[in-house]
Structure 1
């Protein structure tokens, strides 16, 4: 019992030192953090299934040179000044999918937070990015050349679907 009382006192002292005046304030900050909306990650297959459907908007957050090499068919290049103006007017029924180069890039995540901040309700990320898309054999647009490895990955994916 004594250890619990000491631990509680130490926690209260730590919170006070960290700038929390009361446990109620700490709980309020935790609630606000929980309520913060985050984009929903989508698999490559899920994106491929929804690509081109009405109300689905795909935004490529890569620099222009990467976008020119390869991008999802119908995607909108969003790595430009004033990109927010490219968003659809319908914030409730539009499905916004953002991606960048791969899982190491966080530009699309940052952009997705901005989209959520602007009031859009259906915001998604494709974490594997254009590299994952191309490496898994999905069709893409751009100047990038199709090599044998990409074609082999596409054929393998299609064969797996048939099984």
Structure 2
């Protein structure tokens, strides 16, 4: 391979690596590929250890954004089932109240969306527990059943 071809290929490779990050990222869930949504609102994460210290505290709300089937298997003590049409009515009046949102596990995005929608309404104490109820149960923490 001569020097000119090698130099041209190197430049093309460099150009491609610079161009790829600028392209939109695509994702699909078994259907047509679509652009991955970008969220301006960043979540405020909370660990299970920190969340456990808040269970039962006055003015702290836990919202379970799972399906009814997962909810029925057990939820964090005192948590409110949040996967309902009238979810806004479940929110506290105090927009500074601490609210912990969770769903099944780190792959579930329902609690991400619920937390972000709540933050859009002006709530400032919104926290997101990514490990969800499956992480909570697997760690041996206490649950309640309806």
Distance, in Å, in 1 between the alignment partners of 2:43 and 2:98 is 11
Measured on the aligned residues, the alpha-carbon RMSD in Å equals: 2.0
In the alignment, what sits opposite 2:123?
A: 120
Matched, 1:142 2:132: no
Instruction: Provide the C-alpha distance between the structure 2 equivalents of 1:115 and 1:89, rounded to a whole number of angstroms.
Output: 12
Structure 2 residue runs of 5 or longer lacking an equivalent are: 1-18, 24-37
TM-score in terms of structure 1 length: 0.64
In the alignment, structure 1 residue 101 sits paired with structure 2 residue 104 = yes
For these two proteins, the number of residue pairs brought into alignment is: 111
Gaps of 5+ in 1: 1-13, 19-32, 144-163
Structure 2 residue 69 is the aligned partner of structure 1 residue 65 = yes
| Residues 1:48 and 2:52 aligned together | yes
Structure whose residues are more often helix by fraction? 1
Do residues 79 (structure 1) and 83 (structure 2) align?
A: yes
| Regions of 4+ moved over 4 Å | none
